[in-house]
Amino acid sequence: RKEVEQDPGPFNVPEGATVAFNCTYSNSASQSFFWYRQDCRKEPKLLMSVYSSGNEDGRFTAQLNRASQYISLLIRDSKLSDSATYLCAVNSRGATNKLIFGTGTLLAVQP
């Protein structure tokens, strides 16, 4: 089983839609959680960290569920410019140097 798993998608949604991605992790010692965004043929860039209490950044909301070992990303009012691959990443306690990525979820926002 992979340490971090995501639905690869693609998620095809119309502009203005709300879309949610989940990411599951297998290591219960995982300590820190992040969402990255990767545009086609570009490098990944940090979108937001995920805090235990949940956090919001504009149209983006990230949540952590430690009991079920998953993190989520909610995008409200989708824009064409949100089209990208969204990667979750996890650090483990005792191995904080190793940021492990999921395979990514492809989002395509349609006009």
Partner 1 sequence: DAGITQSPRYKITETGRQVTLMCHQTWSHSYMFWYRQDLGHGLRLIYYSAAADITDKGEVPDGYVVSRSKTENFPLTLESATRSQTSVYFCASRTSGNTGELFFGEGSRLTVL
Shortest spacing between CB 57 and partner 1, in angstroms: 14
- Residue (74 or 100) nearer to partner 1, CB: 100
| Positions in the binding site for partner 1 (CB under 8 A) | 6, 8, 32, 34, 42-46, 49, 87, 89, 91, 96-104
Q: Which is nearer to partner 1, 18 or 26 (CB)?
A: 26
Q: Rounded CA gap, 89 and 32, in Å?
A: 8
Residue 36: CB minimum distance to partner 1, A: 8
DSSP 81: G
Cα distances (Å, whole numbers) of residue 68 to 6, 23, 25, 95: 14, 11, 9, 21
Q: How far is the CB of 111 from partner 1 (least distance, A)?
A: 27
Distance between CA atoms of residues 106 and 81, nearest Å: 13
